[in-house]
Structures are given as C-alpha cells and as structure tokens.
Structure 1
Amino acid sequence: MSSSQDLLTAPIAPTLSKMTKQVLFGMVMLMSFNLIDTFFIGLLGTEPLAAISFTFPVTFTVISLAIGLGIGTSAIIAKANGSGNVSEAKNDGQGALIMGIVLVIILASTMYLYTDEIFQALGAGDKTLPLIREYMDIWYIGSVFLMLPMIGNAILRASGDAKTPSMLMAGTGLINAVLDPILIFGFGPIPAMGIAGAAIASVTSWAVGLVVIIYVLAIKRGLIATHLIRLGELVEISRKILKIGLPAAGANMLTPIAMAILTAMIAVHGNAAVAGFGVGSRIESIASMVVLALSMTLPPFISQNYGANQWQRVSDAYKQVIKFVMIWQFAVYVLLVIVAHYIALAFSKDDPEVLNIIKLFIYTLPLGYGLQGIIILTNSSFNALHKPMQALVLSVIRLFVFYLPFAYLGSEWFGLPGLFIGCLIGNVFTAMISYQWFTRTLGSALTAEHNNDRQADASAVEPK
C-alpha cells in the first residue's frame, strides 16, 4: 500500500500519530543542532553573536516565503493525489521547485543589493555591519539551497511520507553542527573563517540536502515530472501555489511583528520582565512542539481526503486532533507547574525578580497552549482546504483583535500579571471562533456530500 493510499484509507489516529512522531524527531534534532550552531558563534565574541541576531528578521523573511510556498505546494499536491491525478501532482511538484528557484533568486538578489540599508534601518552599527555582510553575502548565495529542500519536504509530506523529511532535517543539521567548529575556528589545512565559516557550514549542509531531496523526488520515488513542463503549465501551477502560499507566508510573518509589539508592552515593566518573558518564550517553543508537528502532518491528510471528497474523514481527523491537543497540552501545563520553580532557578539563580516572573509566566500562559493549538491547527487546516484567506483572517483576528488588545488592557489595569492573563483570554476567544468557524465549514461540506449521495441513490433506483 502506498503512503498516498494510507492517508485515504488507514485508521486516522495511528496514521497521524506515526507521521507526527517522525516530524517531531526531525524538529528536536534540528533545534538541538541550531543551538550548537549558536553556541559556536557565541564563542567568537559578543559582536559576532550580535551580528547573527541582527540577521534574524531578514533570514526569517526568506524562510517565511519558503514556509508559505511549502504550505501551498503541499495543499495542491495532496489534493491532486487524493483525487487520483498522479501526473498532475508530479507536474505540480516540478513547477513548485522551479518557481521556488525564481522567487528566492529575486528576493535574495534584492536584499543583497540593499544589505547595508536594510541592516542600518534595523539598528546595526559600524562595527557590526561588516560582520553581517561577511555572513549574509554567503547566506544569500546559498538561500536557494535552503528554499528547495523545504519545498521538496512539502512534496514528500503531501504524499504521506513524513519520515524522509524528518531524516533529512536531522541529517542536514548534523552536517552543519560538524562543519561549524571546523570552518569557524579552522582545523589542519582549513583556515579559521570566523562568522563566514558558520555561513559556509549552513550553505554546505543545505546543498547536501538539496542533492538528496532531488534524488528522492525524481529518481527514487518518482514524485516530480522528469520532463520539463511547459511555460503555460508553470504559470498556472505558480498561480495555484501562490494563491495559498502568499497569504500563508504573510500570516507566518505576522507573529514576529505581534511579538515585537508585545515585547514593547512588557518592556514598560522593566528589564526583569523582558528577561522573564524571553525565557518563557523559549519554554513555549518546547512545550508546543507536538502542536507544531501536527500542523505539518494534519494538512496533507486533510488535503488528500479533500481531494477524494472524503469529508467525514476530514471532520473526524480534525476533531480527534483537537481533542488530543487539549488533553496533551493540559498535561504539559500540569508538568510545567510542578517543575516551575526548578525551571526558573535554571535560568535565573541570582535575580529573584526574574525568577518570580518566569514562574508567573509558567503559571499563566501555558494554561492556554491547548487553545493556542486549536488556533494553529485550524489555521493550517484552512490552508489544507485551499482557503488561505480564512487562515490569514484568523491570524489577524487572533493577534490584533484579541491577543494584543487584551494584553494591553490587562497590563494597564493589573500590571504584568494582567498582561499575561490578557494573552490567555485572547487565546480563549480566538480558539472558540476558530473551532466554530472550521466546524461550520465542515458541516456545510458534509451536508453537500450527503445531498449528493441521496441524489445519486435516487438516480440509481429510477426506472429506466
């Protein structure tokens, strides 16, 4: 049985569980290797570490585009697979890769030409700017090697294969971690290249990942067309992907904007509050890993069954995942509360104020991570149903109608505890809207499906 058929016929819970565990493995490995990468750069000193910190908004822009294209690619290919249009899925895969090359070259070239202006606007000083240039000039060249494996992984997940992308993430992360100390500090005949060495290590690992992913897609699995598609087909495929991918990329970029505004609100309460919130944000990224993994595995499942008009499986999968996330995240919350004091001590032994703020964060915000999971999974499910504007609107509602306004009001009325509670309340309202909106969408689709079945049955019994 092919992995594509698994998403259409296999039991829902075991299938999603297996795929999610595979994605989690890759995420954990990649996060671990990224920490190693930051550690080695930190050994170069404060200036190189600051230079890397300045690059985040720019690199995140390219990565957001890649994520958006991956979401669009996964949605259209999974739907084609679910509909049984294998040749269309293969053409879509090749088109997605070609479009990715063109877009990343345009974006990276534009950023390269205006590097100084961009980073000066971000606040980089004269000492930091040469280091940023040293790193980013290489990063821009290698960004195509970053973009294509991300799109390739989306193609694999759209076919029901979550294991290969996970292994690829882990493998490229390992290559990067091994090359970092060699290229940064030098080894034998290899000279020390400093921050440029870190960039070369990343680009090299991405290039290896690109070779592997193209081999898997084109030769081993046959998931992309090996003949060159026509220009007209490429334009149509690009239109389909961008219709979903651009709103998805935009929604992805709203989060750091909202977090910057929230950080400014928190800064009013002092440096200890900012430090405590920074620690809390790192805790959140770890505590929400299962939700993030599900946001990569649920959409291909939904898209394939959408393509096959199996709306009941779409509904069952969504509701089962939501139920699981609420139970799982509540268990995570209980565990965090039990070990809150020890987590706070690990990050701040010498400052009682920071320690108390970390504990306040843990007691408050993780209580809403299950609700936040509903929002994230509903957002990705709308994209999977080729409804990207609903997903974008949902992100805007969450961040700028509820999350930030309630945080501001809570801060004004009750200080920092009120701010955290305001964020929690914002998630409550958005989760309610998310669930009701998506279940209504599913209800309409199920009603239409039942009506079509009844009409088909009536036609079958009509006398000839």
Structure 2
Amino acid sequence: MGEVRPPDTGPGTAIPPARFVTGSTFRHVVTMGATGSVGLMAIFVVDLLSLLYIARLGDPVLTAAVGFATIVQVFAVSINIGMMIAVGALVSRALGGGDVGQARRLAASSLVLSVAASAAVTALLLPLLTPLLTLIGATAETIPAARTFLWIALPSTLLMALGMGFSGVLRAVGDARRSMNVTLAGAAVTAALDPLLIFGLGLGIEGAAITVVLARLAFAWVGFSGAVRIHRMVARPSPAAVLADAGPILRVALPTVLTNLAPPVASAFLAHVMAGFGTATVAGNAVVDRMVPVAFGGLFALSGAVGPILGQNWGAARFDRMRAALRDATLVTGLYVAAVWLALVLARGPLTALFGLEGAGADLLGFFCFAGGAIWFFNGLLFLGNASFNNLGFPLAASALNWGRATLGTMPPALLGAHLAGPEGAMAGMGIGSALFGVVGLALAFRVVGVLERREAASLGAEAERPVGEPVP
C-alpha cells in the first residue's frame, strides 16, 4: 500500500523490532510484567484513593453510587482493552516477521477503529444509564449521583481508547518503560487533582469525574508522544488502509472485545446479588471492586506482557520460547499472588478502618482479604490462557472461557453461595468457578502452541516437497 519504513529516529530512540525472540524469556516476562504493573497499579491505587476521598465525605450512598458507576463504565473500558489487545497482537506479530511497514499501518488502522468503537458504545450507553443502573441493583438513592458521575466521565473513554492503543503499540515494540509512563501519567494527574477538586473546590463526586477526564487526556498525550513522536510506529491513517485492514483487525478485536465484556457482566451480576443484602454490603463490595485491581493488578499487567512475547516468537516460529514464556508466567503468577495474599491477610483490620466500613461491609472486606488470593491465582491462570488465545489466532477460545466463567462459573455458584452463607458465600461461589476455568484455560494455552507448531511443520514439509520452480499456491 505504498507504506515506507519509518525514518531514522536518531540515537537512543530506536527499539529493536523483535527484541523478545532472543534472551531469557523469564527476564522478558518479569521486565514487561513489572513495568506494566507499576503503571497499572498507579492508576488503580489512585482510583482507590478517589473512592476513599468519596467515602470520607461521610455518605455511604455516594460510595455505593461510585461503585455502580464504575461497573457501567467498565463496559465501555472493556471495548478499549479489547482493541488494545488486538493492536498489540497484530503489531507484535508483524514485527516478529520483520515487516515494520505493515506493523505501522496496522497500528494506525487499529487506533481509528478503536476510537470509532468507543464513540459508538458511549453514545449507546448514555441514554440508557438509568435502566442499566437499576438492572445492576442501584436504588433511587444512588442513581442520581451515579448518573452525574457517568455523564461527565463516560465520554472521555474516547481519550482512553487512544491512550490504550498507543500503549499497546509500545508493548508490541517492547518499550516497557514508555508503556508504563502512559498509565503513570494518568495516575499522577488523578493523584494531584482528586483531593483538590473533591475537597478543595468542594465539587464532591463531580470533582472525581472531572479528574477522570483530565487523567485520560494525559494518558492519551503521553501515549502519542511515545508511539508516534519517538518510535514512529504509527503510520498516517487513511480511509483506504482502514478499510483494507478492518477485516484482519476485527477478526482479532471482536472476539477479544467479547472476551473482555464477560468480567463486567460477572461483576454486575455479583453487584446485583450483593444489593439484596443492603447498602452496607454494597459499599463493602464497592471497596472490594476497587481493591482487586490494586492488589492483583500485576496479574492484568502480566497477561498484557505475555501477549507481545508470544506474538513475536510466533512470528519468528520459536515455539520452544513460547512454551517457556508460558511456564515462566505461571511461576511469576504464583509468586506474586502468594506475596499479595499475605499482605491482604495482615492488613485486613487497617483497611476496614480506613474506609470506615462497619457490619456487613466490614465482614465482606475481611472475607476478601482471607479468600482473595486463592480466587485470583486461578483468575491469573485464566488471564494467561486468554492472552495466549488472543495473540495466537484463537480469540474465540478466550471468549468461550471468559463467558463460561462469567455465566456458569459465576451465576449458579454465586446464587447458591449467597443462599447458604450470605455475601461471603456469593464471593466464595464465584471463586470456585474461577478455579475450574483457570486450570482449563492454561492447559488449553499450551495445547494451542502445540497446534501452531504442527501447522508450521506441515507447512515447511509441503514447501520442501514442492518441485523447484513450481509456483506457490
């Protein structure tokens, strides 16, 4: 399509196109996972601080409202995550095969489609906020505050679509530091502005929502600086290129988006179950929802880190390194969860006091601290499986597993657990489903690598048997 290679960006700015096909896979997993964790954890920590500031206003209705608003917002954010995974998978594979021009064009087309999808979802959600909030259990008390938050914050998901897309490009080229800086920028803005707007200017929940918008603006700008201005890994988009690339991109993105919509459905269902136990339980569940990414954000980052490593090595036909990366990622998952689990158990008392939770809300947070490690270890295995499927051409497998966990692995056991043991039983029931789907997901990921290896061997065998001079079909 007339694409040219990017010009020389000068000393210190060029990143080797396929850095993951050599060197220690364990080091690559740890480096990409750790830097990704820093950025994600920074965002999740300041999100938790934002909820803490709202909780400090002394109105549990506002705390619950932010929790419900977050669940609705996650549906829009999930679209962006799916598109980010798609751009990372396609760009990393093109780089692994040595085609920088194709990688740049795919990056540009993916960003255009990502923003368009985010705009469409936002336009769909805004008129439906009241019925959606009611569906997940919000009451007449909490709906007005949740609607206010969402009308301000939800349109900024377009900025997040750009930021996540640029971050996916940076991950694909292996620039862990600049990918981390994208999320750190948003976290820094949130940390600085939240207390100023919520307390200093007395804007309350509106101040928290305005901060979300400004943080996402910083998110997009820093991502643009790294992916476009420094690496020059995003070509100038054109309608012809977007139309030509839409098929390959959407074949990865649509199942990936479908995969990422499953967790919010599970969260919404659990919130609906918790709503039946009163406002205190809803507030406790809102705190747990914000604590999960803070405590286990490293698992999200780890799955994002594994994708480009698998993609580059698939492009280079290094199946041995793909298996090694999965084994190393599983080991890191276990070590990480063990450390976090111990920290949660030791900190359960101070955390309950910090958020001012009492009664059923305090009990739910305490149970999460005791049981969360077991639940999230298996979720981490499922994340690794999904990263493998999404980056290795089997995105429908990720969709099937995630929706299986969100439905069969969440709804029946959560309802049964709630009936037998209240809110804690609902959380435990969801954990049992996670264990089953996590083990299956990781086992299938190793199987996928074997399938791809056999396909490659068959292709090479057919090529070797073809008579010299016979055209390739």
TM-score range, shorter chain: 0.7 to 0.9
Instruction: Report the 3-state secondary structure (helix = DSSP H, G, I; strand = E; otherwise coil) of the residue aligned with 1:440.
Output: helix
Name the structure 1 match of 2:9: none
SS at match of 2:407: helix
Instruction: Report 1:163-242 matches (<5 A).
Output: 163-184=177-198, 195-226=205-236, 228-229=237-238, 231-242=239-250
What residue is the counterpart of 1:29 in the other structure? Answer: 42
Aligned-pair distance for 1:281? 5.1
How do 1:318-397 residues align onto structure 2 when only pairs under 5 Å count?
A: 318-333=326-341, 336-337=344-345, 339=346, 342=349, 346=353, 358-397=365-404
Query: SS state of the match for residue 10, structure 1?
Result: coil
Comparing 67-76 with 270-279, which one deviates more in the overlay?
270-279
Residue 222 of structure 1 and its aligned partner are, at CA, apart by 0.8
Q: Residues 3-402 of structure 1 correspond to what in structure 2 (within 5 A)?
A: 3-41=16-54, 46=59, 52-112=66-126, 135-184=149-198, 195-226=205-236, 228-229=237-238, 231-265=239-273, 284-333=292-341, 336-337=344-345, 339=346, 342=349, 346=353, 358-402=365-409
Kindly indicate whether the alpha-carbon contact (under 8 Å) linking 1:6 and 1:15 is maintained by their aligned counterparts in 2.
no
Query: Is the CA contact (8 Å cut-off) linking 1:280 and 1:362 kept in structure 2?
Result: no
| Alignment check: 8 A CA contact 1:284 1:366 kept | no
Work out whether residues 378 and 435 of structure 1, in 8 Å CA contact, stay in contact via their aligned partners in 2: yes
Structure 2 Cα separation of the partners of residues 24 and 292 of structure 1: 8
**Paired amino acid for 1:168:** V
Instruction: Single out whichever of 166-175 and 29-38 deviates more from structure 2.
Output: 29-38
1:2 corresponds to: 15
CA offsets 1:253-304 (integer angstroms, 9 cap, x no match): 2223223433555667788776766665555434422211101111111112
- Judge conservation of contact 1:348–1:354 (CA < 8 Å) in 2: no
CA distance in 2, matches of 1:166, 1:151: 13
For the 8 Å contact 1:62–1:107, the answer to whether it is kept is yes
1:449 to 446, 456, 461: 456
Amino acid at match of 2:225: Y
The DSSP-based 3-state class of the residue aligned with 2:174 is: coil
Shift of 1:20: 1.2
Instruction: Say whether the 8 Å CA contact 1:326–1:371 is kept in structure 2.
Output: no
| Equivalent position of 1:437 in the other structure | 444
Distance across 2 between alignment mates of 1:115 and 1:427: 29
Query: Normalized against structure 1, the TM-score is what?
Result: 0.82
Q: Is the 8 A contact 2:352 2:366 kept in 1?
A: no
Which deviates more, 240-249 or 4-13?
Answer: 240-249
Superposition RMSD in Å: 3.8
- How far apart in 1 are the matches of 2:92 and 2:386? 17
Q: Which segments of 5 or more consecutive residues in structure 2 lack a partner in the other structure?
A: 1-13, 468-473
Residue type of the alignment partner of 1:204: L
- Report the CA distance shift for 1:44/1:239 in structure 2 as closer, same or farther (over 3 A): farther
When residues 146 and 331 of structure 1 are mapped into structure 2, their CA distance, relative to the original with a 3 A threshold, is closer
Contact 1:344 1:356 in 2 (8 A): no
Q: CA deviation at 1:147?
A: 1.7
- Name the SS of the counterpart of 1:309 in structure 2: coil
Which is worse superposed, 288-297 or 126-135? 126-135
Aligned to 2:393, the other structure's residue is in SS state coil
Select the structure of larger CA radius of gyration.
Answer: 1
Q: 1:280 to 1:304 in 2, by over 3 A?
A: same
TM-aligned CA distance change 1:349 to 1:181, over 3 Å: closer
Contact 2:96–2:311 (Cα < 8 Å) also in 1 = yes
Alignment CA distance shift 1:258-1:196 (3 Å):
closer
Structure 1 residue 26 displacement after superposition: 1.0
| Shift, 1:152, TM fit | 1.0
> Greater CA deviation, 205-214 or 295-304?
205-214
Q: 1:435 to 1:177 in 2, by over 3 A?
A: closer
* Residues 279 and 347 in structure 1, CA contact (< 8 A), matched pair in contact too: no
TM-score, L = length of structure 2: 0.81
Once the 2 structures are TM-superposed, how far is the Cα of residue 330 of structure 1 from its aligned partner? Answer: 3.8
**Amino acid corresponding to residue 217 of structure 2 in structure 1:** A
